[in-house]
Structure 1
Amino acid sequence: MNTIDQATNNRIQQWLTAEYDSETVAQVQQLVDNNEETELIDSFYKDLEFGTGGLRGIMGVGSNRMNKYTIGKATQGLANYLKKQFPDQAIKVAVSYDSRNNSQKFGHLVADVFSANGIHVYLFEALRPTPVLSFAVRHFGCQGGVMLTASHNPKEYNGYKAYWNDGGQLVAPHDKNVITEVDAISSVTEIKFDRQPENITLVGEDFDQHYVDANKKLSIHPEAVAAEKDLKIVFSSIHGTGVTIVPKMLEAWGFTNVHLVEEQATPDGNFPTVVYPNPEEEEAMSMAKKKGEELDADVVMATDPDADRVGLAVKNHKGEIQLLNGNQIGSLLIYYVLSSKKENGSLKDNDFIVKTIVTSNLMTAISDSFSVKHYETLTGFKFIGEVMTRVEGKENYLVGGEESYGFLVGDLVRDKDAVNACAFIAEMAAYFKSQGKSLFDVLLSLYEQYGFYQEKLISLTKKGKAGAEEIKQMMADLRANAPQTLGGVAVKEIRDYAHGVATVLASNSQSSIDLPKSDVLQFITVDGDVISARPSGTEPKIKFYCSVKEPLASRDAYEETAIKLEEKVKNIMADIVKD
């Protein structure tokens, strides 16, 4: 145990006291007896912190793991904060959970702690998607909410997304203030674990109808759905919560030809048919894509475990089923919503869209062409939700998205919503099909009109304390030795969001960035390429995003231009990604 620092050792010793249950103490003692230093360090070197997605970590014993005590402590801290913020109100919260191992148990634990603190809990009887939880916070007039999920992380993870009274995830100052309350809890004996049943209302399956009905009212072209109701749709929930409500939503909108990927339709926290339950990964979409090819489907969709992200594959110009990335999906949705509203005369002067700073500027180009205002936020859909809440009543949110496959049409919730997105993707496909176009046809039209945007994301996984330190050093090195050229193209501007400064290299002039501080670096070349480096807030990864652009002379030049852009991305990434 020679490599364990004193602070970490103090935490280990604390967890061996009688404050913790005998099972927990036995598990910690076994790690100590077996001299498992790496596991002990990774489990105890810090307390879990709220990142872009809330509390998220590997399940197991320890202060840096998801377990009864870290979840209980977070909930007690949140309860204490809610009581301070709403001192003269009867406080209500909504709680839901996904299909991950222990999610239901953790969901009931959270409900127990809230109820023991005199807070009324609307607890879902069965697993439901994250966007349904966000909707429930608003529907029941709650002051907060909690969703137990680790989204698309590997199976050993679980997580805790905390929500505020607007239905959005915690943002400043509430996120840091809750952490202060959590840190103020010096002993787990301060956590109230004793369930008070009278403070818990179970939310049943009938609640789904409220959510489905509210979404259906957002439909822009119901006549197109009626005309193309037999649109051939393949859907996979990848063993998650999407199966509980996406088929209901598509049926309610009028689609009659929906095919489930049965092998992935049973909720299962082990995610037995995929390596990662993430629709961003080609492998995770492979079964749905194969079924789409077998059925000659128009649309193939798959959602992640908590159904807030959706992957999409469509028939390309060769009739092959082709996966689209998050930038392409979001751009199509923005174009569909804006062009449809312009067509029916319902675009307003105060309409707006939102995207994140690492998401394709194609979305901005589209919104500009319709004279619709756009906002840019830091990475994480909670920041999009924050914009929606900030301007609510003064401006009108239409649609938003981020490259990581998160989208939302309409303002029913304050988080990304794959259920809502599935319905709109299907409606969009039906609308364009009624005009004799596929979604890929429309995408090529966008490239012809606005330029061919090509994006790539490279993620490097760096686990544990050593990995966290390595990621920190990689960002420090990039700041200290910023590249002057990338892929043979000169860098024009560097944006350092941690310091809130944008620097134009030629003149060495600086301007401030009007966004909260965040550990992100962006390099913009003279060609307009955008390369971003960002440590993930939810996974042990550092992510590098690249977006390049070139005119598309004609559809016939698609393959040639794609190859050219892929080579440019490859050269740029080779200069910046050092592993």
Structure 2
Amino acid sequence: MDNLDKDTQARIDQWLTSEYDKDTVAKVQELVDNNQETELLDSFYKELEFGTGGLRGIMGVGSNRMNKYTIGKATQGLANYLKKQFPDQEIKVAVSYDSRNNSQEFGHLVADVFSANGFQVYLFKELRPTPILSFAVRHFKCQGGVMLTASHNPKEYNGYKAYWNDGGQLVAPHDEEVITEVNKIKSVKDIKFDRNEKNIHLVDEDFDQIYIDANLKLSIHPEAVKSQKDLKIVYSPIHGTGITIVPKMLEAWGFTNITVVDEQAKPDGNFPTVVYPNPEEEDAMSMAMRKGEEIDADVVMATDPDADRVGVAVKLPSGEFQLINGNQIGSLLTYYVLSSKKDLGQLKDNQYIVKTIVTSNLFSDIAKSFDVKTYETLTGFKFIGEVMTKLEGKETYLVGGEESYGFLVGDLVRDKDAVNSCAFIAEMTAYFKSQGKSLYDVLIKLYLDYGYYKEKLISLTKKGKAGADEIKQMMADLRANLPKTLGSIEVTEVRDYESSEATDMATGKKSKIDLPKSDVLQFITKDGDVISARPSGTEPKIKFYCSVRENLEFTTELGQISNRLDDKVREMMADIVKD
């Protein structure tokens, strides 16, 4: 195994010692004996790190895998940091987990370590969604929390989302300082694994009602729900946690005609009916859409395994269902919330919405038309949560979201919330139906009012250390050879979020970007198109986003303009995406 660097080899050697259980040592030894260099390198070349979604990786043995030791080490490091940040206080944490293989075991492991450190642990008795964990952190006045989930990743993955006392995922400086504490742990002996039962408090299903009641107070048009209570709703949890509470939330809201996709109703970490349990994927939504057409539903929704993302299909005039993307869902929610509050006289000067830098500018166009401020953040809902926490008590958050199907109406939590979103999407559908409109009709109205926006996302998967190195080189090459045109359209501005500088391509003048540093490049064309390149923080991928826009005066022009924008996107992306 001559190709392994000394640091990787040192980690392998450590995992072959008696510090680790016999089963783990045997699995590592088997990889060594079979000269599985690639697997060993990918499993041991680094420690798992917190990205935009926390700790996430493939399950298995190794320092770069999700297992009892990496999770134990992360939890002990987080516990050590919490002790430093909250000295002389009784520390409380909340812990939940999703339907993935090993999530429950990992959740109990996390609770064990926290309890062994003397913390009071609010452990969910059964699997529950990520947003409920965020809500629990705030409700129980915890200093921190952990959610065991890999969100929408494939079945071989699991993950660990760490939360701070505001109910939001860790952001700077806490994320980096927790990693520092984790890296100080050099021996398994430093991890306290022995559960202290008296420090564990089980959270049962009664807690669901507290969360549901809090959300019910946010309802904007309960009278519309009442008049459309038999609205035909199709819902799929895609084998995840949503089944535990989304139907209950919709029923509490007042909806009586909810059809759950039976084949995807049971929580199952193998996700047997889909390739990826991701509502962004047409394959994951196909069963729900077929059911929608079968019963002539009004709206079709599906949530990912930890129920923080929601996918939506809307009914076309033909009666067929069409998937809409995250930018479209978020734009509809933004318009619904702002227009409704204006009609009710509830819009005030200190209110705002939030979007991320790769999310459609249609969000901010809508907000501007209602004189509502828009804040923009880096990619990752934790940054939206950070804005909410900073402005709490000064300004009022209304709605926010990101193109990756994560949204939140109201400020009950500090993370994207598909349970909350499902309720508001259903209410929005009911409200517009009471006016004789479908969600598709409203989407077309937005394009007539604000311009026809079209977006494209291309994700390139690059697995393992070799893939990580390739992604790093792709970003370096882009920075070294900034394109002057994309699809023959002149690039007028380049925003480099790693250097925190925006460059005017005509004059060379630089201006500061007032956001934290992040490995993202954005190219703005003279037409106002936005093309972004960004390595994913949660998956072995590099992502390229493109957003274009053209005025739409008449609905009869829709097809022609759509085709023209498709061609434009294709030409622009071909100049920047090199695989």
Same fold, TM-score > 0.5, yes or no: yes
User: What is the one-letter code of the residue matched to 2:15?
Assistant: W
Deviation of residue 317 (structure 1)? 3.3
2:126 is matched with 126
Are 2:512 and 1:541 aligned? no
Deviation at 1:562, TM superposition (A): 1.0
Give CA deviations for 1:411-430 in whole Å, capped at 9, x if unaligned.
Answer: 00000000000000000000
2:63 matched to which residue of 1? Answer: 63
Structure 1 residue 495 corresponds to structure 2 residue 517: no
Q: Is the 8 A contact 2:533 2:544 kept in 1?
A: yes
Take 2:399 and 2:299, find their aligned partners in 1: how far apart are those partners? 21
Question: Which residue of 2 is the match for residue 174 of structure 1?
Answer: 174
The reply on whether 1:21 has 2:38 as its aligned counterpart is no
Give the letter aligned to residue 201 of structure 2.
T
Superposed displacement of residue 293, structure 1: 1.0
The separation in 2 between residues aligned to 1:436 and 1:30, in whole angstroms, is: 65
Tell me the secondary structure at the aligned position of residue 52 of structure 1. Answer: coil
SS in 2 for 1:394: coil
Give the superposed CA RMSD: 0.5
CA distance in 2, matches of 1:82, 1:351: 33
Task: Provide Cα deviations, 1:335-373, integer angstroms capped at 9, x if missing partner.
Answer: 000000000001111000000000000000000000001
Q: Offset of 1:62 from its aligned partner? A: 0.2
The residue that corresponds to 1:394 in the other structure is 394
Q: For residues 35-74 of structure 1, what are the structure 2 equivalents within 5 Å?
A: 35-74=35-74
Residues 251-400 of structure 1: pairs in structure 2 closer than 5 A: 251-400=251-400
The 1:557–1:319 alpha-carbon spacing in structure 2 relative to 1, beyond 3 Å, is: farther
> CA offset at residue 188 of structure 1?
1.0
Give the Å deviation of 1:46: 0.2
Partner of 1:157: 157
* Residue aligned with 1:567, SS: helix
- Between the aligned partners of 1:133 and 1:556, the Cα distance in structure 2 is 47
| Cα distance in 2 for residues equivalent to 1:555 and 1:296 | 25
Letter in 2 for 1:76: Q
Quote the residue 1:577 is aligned against: 577
Q: Secondary structure at the match of 1:285?
A: helix
**2:222 matches 1:218:** no
Which residue of the partner structure matches residue 34 of structure 1?
34
1:197 aligns with 2:197: yes
Give the Cα separation in 1 of the matches to 2:285 and 2:576.
Answer: 29
Give the whole-Å Cα distance in 1 for the aligned partners of 2:385 and 2:128. 20
2:3 aligns to what? 3
Instruction: Quote the residue 1:250 is aligned against.
Output: 250
Give the letter aligned to residue 575 of structure 1: D
Instruction: Report the secondary structure of 2:477's partner residue.
Output: helix
1:91-102 to 2 correspondences below 5 Å:
91-102=91-102
Measure how far apart 1:497 and its partner are: 0.2
Alignment correspondent of 1:446:
446
Contact persistence 2:293–2:319 (CA under 8 A): no
Instruction: For 1:222 and 1:402, locate their aligned partners in 2 and report how far apart those are by CA, in whole Å.
Output: 26
Task: Look up the SS of the partner of 1:472 in the other structure.
Answer: helix
Q: Describe the SS at the equivalent of 1:576.
A: coil
Residues 384-412 of structure 1: per-residue CA shift (max 9 Å, x gap)? 00000001000000000000000000000
Letter in 2 for 1:139: H
Query: How far apart are residue 543 of structure 1 and its match?
Result: 0.1
The answer for the alignment partner of 1:186 in structure 2 is 186
Map of 1:412 onto structure 2: 412
Give 1:554 deviation, angstroms.
Answer: 1.0
Which residue does the alignment assign to 1:460?
Answer: 460
SS at match of 1:545: strand
Unmatched segments (≥5 aa) in structure 1: none
Q: Answer yes or no: is 1:117 the counterpart of 2:144.
A: no
Report the counterpart of residue 106 of structure 2 in structure 1. 106
SS at match of 1:465: helix
Per the alignment, residue 135 of structure 2 pairs with 135
Give the % identical residues.
Answer: 79
Cα displacement (A) at 1:88: 1.6
Task: Map Cα deviations across residues 88-108 of structure 1 (whole Å, 9 max, x no partner).
Answer: 210000000000000000000
Per the normalisation by structure 2, the TM-score is 1.00
Distance in structure 1 (CA, Å) of the matches to 2:297 and 2:457: 27
Aligned residue for 1:558?
A: 558
Question: What's the CA shift string for 1:488-510, capped at 9, x where partnerless?
Answer: 10101000000000001111111
TM-score scaled to structure 1, two decimals?
1.00
**1:517 maps onto 2:520 in alignment:** no
Equivalent-residue separation in structure 2 for 1:96 and 1:205 (angstroms)? 13
After superposition, the C-alpha distances for 1:449-493 in whole angstroms (9 at most, x for unaligned) are 000000010000000000000000000000001111111101010
Q: CA deviation at 1:558?
A: 1.3
Query: CA separation in 2, counterparts of 1:444 and 1:317?
Result: 12
2:497 and 2:519 in contact (8 A); partners too: yes
Query: What SS class does the counterpart of residue 359 from structure 1 fall into?
Result: coil
Give 3-state SS (helix, strand or coil) of 1:284's partner: helix
Name the CA distance, whole Å, in 2 between partners of 1:507 and 1:195.
63
**2 CA distance for matches of 1:540 and 1:317?**
39
Letter aligned with residue 498 of structure 1: E
Is the Cα–Cα contact under 8 Å of residues 137 and 145 in structure 2 kept in the other structure?
yes
Output the amino acid matched with 2:172: A
Deviations 1:16-51 (A, max 9, x none): 001111111011000001110000000000000000
Give, as a single letter, the amino acid of the residue that structure 1 aligns with 2:16. L
Q: Distance in 1 between matches of 2:312 and 2:97?
A: 24
Measure, in 1, the Cα distance between the counterparts of 2:291 and 2:427. 21
Please, which moves more after superposition, 388-397 or 549-558? 549-558
* Distance (whole Å) between structure 1 residues aligned to residue 554 and residue 442 of structure 2: 13
Output the CA distance in 2 between the equivalents of 1:558 and 1:318.
Answer: 16
Deviation readout 1:550-578 (Å, 9 max, x if unpaired):
01121121111111111111111111110
SS at match of 2:147: strand
Give, in whole Å, the separation in 2 of the partners of 1:163 and 1:120: 15
Residue 111 of structure 1 deviates from its aligned partner by 0.1
Report the Cα distance in structure 2 between the residues aligned to 1:221 and 1:562, rounded to whole angstroms. 33
Aligned partners of 2:310, 2:146: CA distance in 1, in Å? 21
- After superposition, the C-alpha distances for 1:481-540 in whole angstroms (9 at most, x for unaligned) are 111111110101000000000001111111000000000000000000000000000000
5+ long unaligned stretches in structure 2: none
How much does 1:319 deviate? 2.7
Q: Residue 283 of structure 2: SS of its match in structure 1?
A: coil
User: Which whole-Å CA distance do the structure 1 matches of 2:520 and 2:173 have between them?
Assistant: 20
Count of residue pairs brought into register by the alignment: 579
**Which amino acid counterpart does residue 573 of structure 1 have in structure 2?**
M
CA distance in 1, matches of 2:497, 2:319: 43
Looking at structure 1, the residues matched to 316 and 370 of structure 2 have their Cα atoms a distance apart, in angstroms, of: 26
CA drift at 1:86: 0.5
Aligned AA (1:401): G
String of CA shifts for 1:105-152, please: whole Å, max 9, x gaps.
000000000000000100000000000000000000100000000000
1:252-311 CA distances to partner (integer Å, 9 max, x unpaired)?
000011100000000000000000000011111111111111111110000000000000
